[in-house]
């Protein structure tokens, strides 16, 4: 059983999601703490200016960020800050709309045993069914692989972040101007060493289809936004082409 600390991000009003997460974690034998999610509108103006680079997101994202996306990012920032305020080597972070699979405790125990030497910054616990793998090695013999990605997938639903990773993220991603899961895909901008567990050891719950914080309606993209989105995809493809993906052999030294 892993002794890594575990937190799940949850809004105070989302009692049903909190109860479901608490029940799942207890069934897995995992002790966890609830990390109160950030409701962006409740943040003082000076904090909003500190965390977010532009009121209209005129940065590297193709459209303005909604308050839900900003609050979601700040919630993850709080998780990373909590790790650095502790003496722990790494932290398991979940959003509250995930389904924990039976293989999760085994994966976390194996991650706990990995070297704490800066060879990894983040290990994603959720990914695509048919992942584009750059390289891989056994995390749990005969069951789970530690993988490096050709293209880091979206979703920040569940991951393990190391102290080195938290330091790197907090140093380079404040202020932010993209959603958190998109920022992680641009790992090459700040040398983030992201790996994954394959196959995934968590899944998205049915409630993930309905966000509890992204209440705004999705507006149709303008011509300018479509152009900016295309440019962003080009930047992502270019960065992935030129950057050298981290190798699992650097982590699985033992």
- Residue 151: closest CA among 58, 240, 24: 240
Q: Within the chain, where are the H helices?
A: 15-27, 45-51, 67-84, 104-112, 163-172, 180-185, 223-242
Predicted pLDDT of residue 230: 92
Tokens standing for residue 18: 């909190």
The tokens describing 215, both together, are: 């209440």
Give the residue ranges of the chain where pLDDT is below 70.
1-2, 55-59, 207-219, 254
Query: What pTM was estimated for this model as a whole?
Result: 0.92
pLDDT of residue 253: 80
pLDDT for the residue 214: 47
Q: Would you state the pLDDT for residue 60?
A: 83
Peptide bond preceding 191 in cis form (omega within 30 of 0): no
Alpha carbon 161 to its chain's center: 8
Name the maximum alpha-carbon separation found in the chain: 52
- Percentage of the residues of the chain whose pLDDT score is greater than 70: 92
pLDDT at 219: 67
């Amino acid at each position: 059983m892993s002794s890594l600390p575990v937190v799940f991000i949850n809004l105070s009003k989302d009692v049903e999601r909190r109860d479901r997460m608490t029940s799942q974690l207890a069934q897995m034998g995992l002790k966890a703490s609830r990390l109160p999610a950030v409701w962006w509108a409740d943040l003082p103006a000076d904090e909003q200016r500190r965390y977010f680079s532009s009121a209209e997101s005129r940065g590297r994202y193709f459209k303005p960020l909604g308050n839900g996306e900003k609050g979601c990012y700040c919630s993850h920032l709080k998780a990373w800050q909590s790790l650095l305020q502790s003496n722990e080597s790494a932290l398991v972070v979940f959003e509250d709309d995930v389904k924990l699979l039976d293989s999760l405790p085994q994966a976390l125990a194996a991650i706990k045993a990995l070297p704490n030497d800066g060879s990894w910054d983040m290990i994603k616990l959720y990914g695509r069914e048919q992942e584009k793998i750059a390289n891989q090695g056994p995390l749990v013999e005969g069951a789970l692989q530690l993988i490096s990605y050709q293209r880091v997938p979206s979703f920040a639903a569940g991951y393990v972040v190391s102290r080195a990773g938290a330091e790197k993220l907090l140093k380079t991603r404040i202020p932010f101007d993209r959603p958190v899961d998109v920022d992680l895909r641009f790992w090459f901008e700040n040398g983030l060493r992201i790996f994954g567990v394959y196959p995934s050891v968590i899944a998205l719950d049915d409630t993930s289809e309905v966000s509890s914080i992204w209440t705004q309606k999705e507006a149709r993209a303008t011509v300018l936004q479509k152009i900016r989105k295309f440019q962003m995809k080009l930047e992502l493809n270019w960065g992935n082409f030129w950057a050298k993906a981290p190798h699992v052999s650097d982590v699985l030294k033992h």
